[in-house]
Amino acid sequence: MKKQPIGVFDSGLGGLTILDALRRELPREDLIYFGDTANVPYGSKSKVAVTKFSLAIGRFLQSQGVKLIVVACNTASAQALPQLRRQLSVPVMGVIEPGAEKAARTTRNGHIAVLGTEGTVKSGAYVKALLKRRPQARVFQQACPLFVPLVEENWTAKPAAELIAREYLAPVCQSGADTVILGCTHYPVLKPVLAKILGPQITLVDSASAVAEAVQRFLTRRGQAAAGGRGRVTVFASDDPARFKRLAASLLAEQIATVKLKKLDL
Protein backbone atom coordinates (compact mmCIF):
# COMPACT_ATOMS: atom_id res chain seq x y z
CA MET A 1 0.00 0.00 0.00
CA LYS A 2 2.88 2.39 0.73
CA LYS A 3 3.99 2.27 -2.91
CA GLN A 4 0.51 2.77 -4.37
CA PRO A 5 -0.22 6.25 -5.80
CA ILE A 6 -2.71 8.85 -4.59
CA GLY A 7 -5.42 9.76 -7.11
CA VAL A 8 -6.52 13.40 -7.46
CA PHE A 9 -9.23 14.76 -9.74
CA ASP A 10 -10.91 18.03 -10.65
CA SER A 11 -13.11 19.42 -13.41
CA GLY A 12 -10.07 21.05 -15.00
CA LEU A 13 -6.99 23.03 -14.00
CA GLY A 14 -8.10 24.17 -10.55
CA GLY A 15 -7.21 20.96 -8.76
CA LEU A 16 -3.57 21.55 -9.65
CA THR A 17 -3.50 23.87 -6.62
CA ILE A 18 -4.23 20.77 -4.51
CA LEU A 19 -1.72 18.69 -6.48
CA ASP A 20 0.96 21.33 -5.88
CA ALA A 21 0.26 21.33 -2.13
CA LEU A 22 0.39 17.53 -2.01
CA ARG A 23 3.68 17.61 -3.90
CA ARG A 24 5.17 19.97 -1.32
CA GLU A 25 3.74 18.21 1.74
CA LEU A 26 4.21 14.62 0.53
CA PRO A 27 7.15 14.64 -1.90
CA ARG A 28 7.68 10.86 -1.69
CA GLU A 29 4.17 9.99 -2.87
CA ASP A 30 3.33 9.02 -6.45
CA LEU A 31 0.37 11.12 -7.66
CA ILE A 32 -2.10 10.55 -10.49
CA TYR A 33 -4.08 13.63 -11.52
CA PHE A 34 -7.18 13.64 -13.73
CA GLY A 35 -8.51 16.91 -15.17
CA ASP A 36 -11.95 16.54 -16.72
CA THR A 37 -11.36 19.23 -19.34
CA ALA A 38 -14.07 17.79 -21.61
CA ASN A 39 -16.77 18.67 -19.05
CA VAL A 40 -15.45 21.76 -17.25
CA PRO A 41 -17.02 23.63 -15.47
CA TYR A 42 -18.87 21.42 -12.99
CA GLY A 43 -20.32 24.31 -10.99
CA SER A 44 -23.19 25.06 -13.37
CA LYS A 45 -24.11 21.41 -14.01
CA SER A 46 -26.74 19.29 -12.28
CA LYS A 47 -25.95 17.03 -9.34
CA VAL A 48 -26.77 14.02 -11.54
CA ALA A 49 -24.22 15.09 -14.17
CA VAL A 50 -21.50 15.92 -11.62
CA THR A 51 -22.01 12.57 -9.89
CA LYS A 52 -21.85 10.70 -13.21
CA PHE A 53 -18.57 12.38 -14.19
CA SER A 54 -17.10 11.90 -10.71
CA LEU A 55 -17.93 8.21 -10.59
CA ALA A 56 -16.40 7.64 -14.03
CA ILE A 57 -13.18 9.33 -12.94
CA GLY A 58 -13.21 7.54 -9.59
CA ARG A 59 -13.50 4.15 -11.29
CA PHE A 60 -10.64 5.02 -13.62
CA LEU A 61 -8.38 6.09 -10.74
CA GLN A 62 -9.34 2.96 -8.83
CA SER A 63 -8.29 0.89 -11.86
CA GLN A 64 -4.86 2.55 -11.61
CA GLY A 65 -4.38 1.00 -8.17
CA VAL A 66 -4.58 4.15 -6.04
CA LYS A 67 -4.67 3.89 -2.24
CA LEU A 68 -6.67 7.11 -1.78
CA ILE A 69 -8.72 9.43 -4.00
CA VAL A 70 -8.74 13.16 -3.28
CA VAL A 71 -11.71 14.96 -4.82
CA ALA A 72 -9.93 18.24 -5.60
CA CYS A 73 -13.18 19.89 -6.68
CA ASN A 74 -15.53 21.62 -4.29
CA THR A 75 -18.61 21.02 -6.46
CA ALA A 76 -17.90 17.30 -6.73
CA SER A 77 -17.08 17.15 -3.01
CA ALA A 78 -20.42 18.82 -2.22
CA GLN A 79 -22.55 16.76 -4.59
CA ALA A 80 -20.89 13.42 -5.34
CA LEU A 81 -18.88 12.42 -2.25
CA PRO A 82 -21.51 10.08 -0.72
CA GLN A 83 -21.91 8.14 -3.98
CA LEU A 84 -18.16 7.95 -4.50
CA ARG A 85 -17.68 6.51 -1.03
CA ARG A 86 -20.56 4.10 -1.54
CA GLN A 87 -19.53 2.78 -4.94
CA LEU A 88 -15.71 2.76 -4.78
CA SER A 89 -13.59 0.35 -2.78
CA VAL A 90 -10.81 2.85 -1.97
CA PRO A 91 -11.04 5.70 0.57
CA VAL A 92 -12.24 9.05 -0.81
CA MET A 93 -11.46 12.46 0.71
CA GLY A 94 -13.17 15.73 -0.23
CA VAL A 95 -11.93 19.30 0.13
CA ILE A 96 -14.80 20.94 2.00
CA GLU A 97 -14.25 19.55 5.51
CA PRO A 98 -10.52 20.50 5.66
CA GLY A 99 -11.27 23.98 4.30
CA ALA A 100 -14.11 24.55 6.76
CA GLU A 101 -11.94 23.36 9.65
CA LYS A 102 -9.22 25.83 8.72
CA ALA A 103 -11.66 28.74 8.37
CA ALA A 104 -13.36 27.95 11.68
CA ARG A 105 -9.96 28.14 13.39
CA THR A 106 -8.96 31.30 11.53
CA THR A 107 -11.95 33.62 11.99
CA ARG A 108 -11.78 36.13 14.83
CA ASN A 109 -15.33 37.52 14.76
CA GLY A 110 -17.19 34.37 13.67
CA HIS A 111 -18.30 35.92 10.36
CA ILE A 112 -17.20 33.80 7.41
CA ALA A 113 -17.88 34.28 3.69
CA VAL A 114 -17.75 31.45 1.16
CA LEU A 115 -16.96 32.06 -2.51
CA GLY A 116 -18.01 29.09 -4.62
CA THR A 117 -19.58 27.78 -7.78
CA GLU A 118 -23.35 27.76 -8.12
CA GLY A 119 -23.42 24.05 -7.34
CA THR A 120 -21.34 24.38 -4.18
CA VAL A 121 -23.36 27.34 -2.91
CA LYS A 122 -26.70 25.63 -3.58
CA SER A 123 -25.56 22.49 -1.75
CA GLY A 124 -24.97 24.41 1.48
CA ALA A 125 -22.10 22.02 2.21
CA TYR A 126 -19.78 24.72 3.57
CA VAL A 127 -22.52 26.22 5.75
CA LYS A 128 -23.19 22.81 7.28
CA ALA A 129 -19.49 22.06 7.81
CA LEU A 130 -18.82 25.47 9.37
CA LEU A 131 -21.81 25.42 11.71
CA LYS A 132 -20.82 21.95 12.88
CA ARG A 133 -17.56 23.46 14.10
CA ARG A 134 -18.81 26.91 15.14
CA PRO A 135 -22.57 26.79 15.80
CA GLN A 136 -22.73 30.56 16.41
CA ALA A 137 -20.93 31.48 13.20
CA ARG A 138 -22.56 33.72 10.61
CA VAL A 139 -21.94 32.38 7.12
CA PHE A 140 -22.42 34.41 3.94
CA GLN A 141 -22.25 32.70 0.54
CA GLN A 142 -21.46 34.22 -2.85
CA ALA A 143 -21.60 32.30 -6.14
CA CYS A 144 -18.85 33.36 -8.59
CA PRO A 145 -19.59 31.39 -11.78
CA LEU A 146 -17.26 33.39 -14.04
CA PHE A 147 -14.13 32.73 -11.97
CA VAL A 148 -13.60 29.20 -13.33
CA PRO A 149 -13.66 30.27 -17.02
CA LEU A 150 -11.24 33.11 -16.20
CA VAL A 151 -8.75 30.59 -14.81
CA GLU A 152 -9.31 28.01 -17.55
CA GLU A 153 -8.72 30.70 -20.20
CA ASN A 154 -5.65 32.07 -18.36
CA TRP A 155 -7.30 35.50 -18.02
CA THR A 156 -6.53 36.03 -14.34
CA ALA A 157 -4.13 38.92 -15.00
CA LYS A 158 -6.43 40.75 -17.43
CA PRO A 159 -8.50 43.81 -16.40
CA ALA A 160 -11.70 41.78 -16.88
CA ALA A 161 -10.74 39.56 -13.95
CA GLU A 162 -10.64 42.50 -11.52
CA LEU A 163 -13.87 44.01 -12.89
CA ILE A 164 -15.73 40.73 -12.44
CA ALA A 165 -14.19 40.12 -9.01
CA ARG A 166 -15.26 43.57 -7.78
CA GLU A 167 -18.88 42.80 -8.75
CA TYR A 168 -18.86 39.48 -6.90
CA LEU A 169 -17.01 40.80 -3.84
CA ALA A 170 -19.05 43.97 -3.24
CA PRO A 171 -21.62 42.15 -1.01
CA VAL A 172 -18.83 40.16 0.65
CA CYS A 173 -17.12 43.39 1.71
CA GLN A 174 -20.41 44.49 3.31
CA SER A 175 -21.07 41.17 5.05
CA GLY A 176 -18.75 41.81 7.99
CA ALA A 177 -16.75 38.65 7.29
CA ASP A 178 -13.15 38.65 8.46
CA THR A 179 -12.44 35.30 6.78
CA VAL A 180 -13.23 34.32 3.18
CA ILE A 181 -13.11 30.72 2.00
CA LEU A 182 -12.03 30.23 -1.60
CA GLY A 183 -14.55 27.44 -2.09
CA CYS A 184 -13.33 26.27 -5.48
CA THR A 185 -9.88 24.94 -6.30
CA HIS A 186 -9.66 27.34 -9.26
CA TYR A 187 -10.05 30.41 -7.05
CA PRO A 188 -6.57 30.45 -5.41
CA VAL A 189 -5.18 31.31 -8.85
CA LEU A 190 -7.11 34.59 -8.48
CA LYS A 191 -5.80 35.23 -4.97
CA PRO A 192 -3.72 38.34 -5.85
CA VAL A 193 -6.80 40.01 -7.37
CA LEU A 194 -9.09 38.96 -4.52
CA ALA A 195 -6.65 40.08 -1.83
CA LYS A 196 -6.27 43.47 -3.52
CA ILE A 197 -10.05 44.04 -3.48
CA LEU A 198 -10.79 42.62 -0.01
CA GLY A 199 -7.83 44.23 1.74
CA PRO A 200 -5.41 42.99 4.41
CA GLN A 201 -8.05 42.91 7.16
CA ILE A 202 -9.73 39.88 5.56
CA THR A 203 -8.03 36.48 5.63
CA LEU A 204 -8.32 34.29 2.55
CA VAL A 205 -8.55 30.57 3.20
CA ASP A 206 -8.02 27.96 0.51
CA SER A 207 -8.18 24.26 1.17
CA ALA A 208 -4.97 23.19 -0.60
CA SER A 209 -2.63 23.15 2.42
CA ALA A 210 -5.40 21.89 4.71
CA VAL A 211 -6.14 18.98 2.37
CA ALA A 212 -2.45 18.09 2.05
CA GLU A 213 -2.12 18.02 5.84
CA ALA A 214 -5.28 15.88 6.13
CA VAL A 215 -3.91 13.41 3.56
CA GLN A 216 -0.63 13.17 5.44
CA ARG A 217 -2.42 12.45 8.73
CA PHE A 218 -4.67 9.87 7.04
CA LEU A 219 -1.79 7.93 5.45
CA THR A 220 0.38 8.09 8.58
CA ARG A 221 -2.47 6.82 10.75
CA ARG A 222 -3.00 3.86 8.40
CA GLY A 223 0.71 3.15 7.96
CA GLN A 224 0.46 3.81 4.22
CA ALA A 225 2.78 6.78 3.78
CA ALA A 226 5.48 6.28 1.14
CA ALA A 227 9.07 6.03 2.34
CA GLY A 228 12.19 7.08 0.44
CA GLY A 229 12.73 8.58 -2.99
CA ARG A 230 10.93 11.26 -4.94
CA GLY A 231 7.41 10.44 -6.08
CA ARG A 232 6.25 10.65 -9.69
CA VAL A 233 3.37 12.68 -11.10
CA THR A 234 1.16 11.26 -13.86
CA VAL A 235 -1.45 13.53 -15.45
CA PHE A 236 -4.52 12.68 -17.53
CA ALA A 237 -7.00 15.03 -19.23
CA SER A 238 -10.28 14.09 -20.87
CA ASP A 239 -9.78 16.61 -23.71
CA ASP A 240 -6.99 18.64 -25.37
CA PRO A 241 -4.03 17.47 -23.26
CA ALA A 242 -1.61 19.81 -25.09
CA ARG A 243 -3.58 22.87 -23.98
CA PHE A 244 -3.85 21.49 -20.45
CA LYS A 245 -0.08 21.03 -20.27
CA ARG A 246 0.55 24.56 -21.55
CA LEU A 247 -1.78 26.22 -19.03
CA ALA A 248 -0.65 23.99 -16.17
CA ALA A 249 2.87 25.37 -16.46
CA SER A 250 1.69 28.62 -14.85
CA LEU A 251 0.12 26.82 -11.86
CA LEU A 252 2.70 24.23 -10.86
CA ALA A 253 6.15 24.67 -9.36
CA GLU A 254 7.46 21.84 -11.53
CA GLN A 255 6.83 21.14 -15.19
CA ILE A 256 4.57 18.30 -16.27
CA ALA A 257 6.45 16.07 -18.71
CA THR A 258 3.40 14.57 -20.40
CA VAL A 259 -0.38 14.90 -20.21
CA LYS A 260 -2.15 11.77 -21.42
CA LEU A 261 -5.57 11.80 -23.08
CA LYS A 262 -8.20 9.63 -21.36
CA LYS A 263 -11.82 9.85 -22.44
CA LEU A 264 -14.34 9.17 -19.71
CA ASP A 265 -16.18 5.85 -19.82
CA LEU A 266 -19.67 7.16 -19.03
Peptide linkage before 82 cis (omega within 30 of 0): no
- 173 is annotated as an active-site residue: no
Question: Given 40, 73, 205, 233, which residue is catalytic?
Answer: 73
Answer whether 75's CB lies under 8 Å from 11's CB: yes
Give the whole-angstrom CA distance, residue 166 versus residue 116. 15
- 144 is annotated as an active-site residue: no
CA 187 to chain centre: 9
Question: Given 40, 184, 193, 204, which residue is catalytic?
Answer: 184
Active site residues: 73, 184
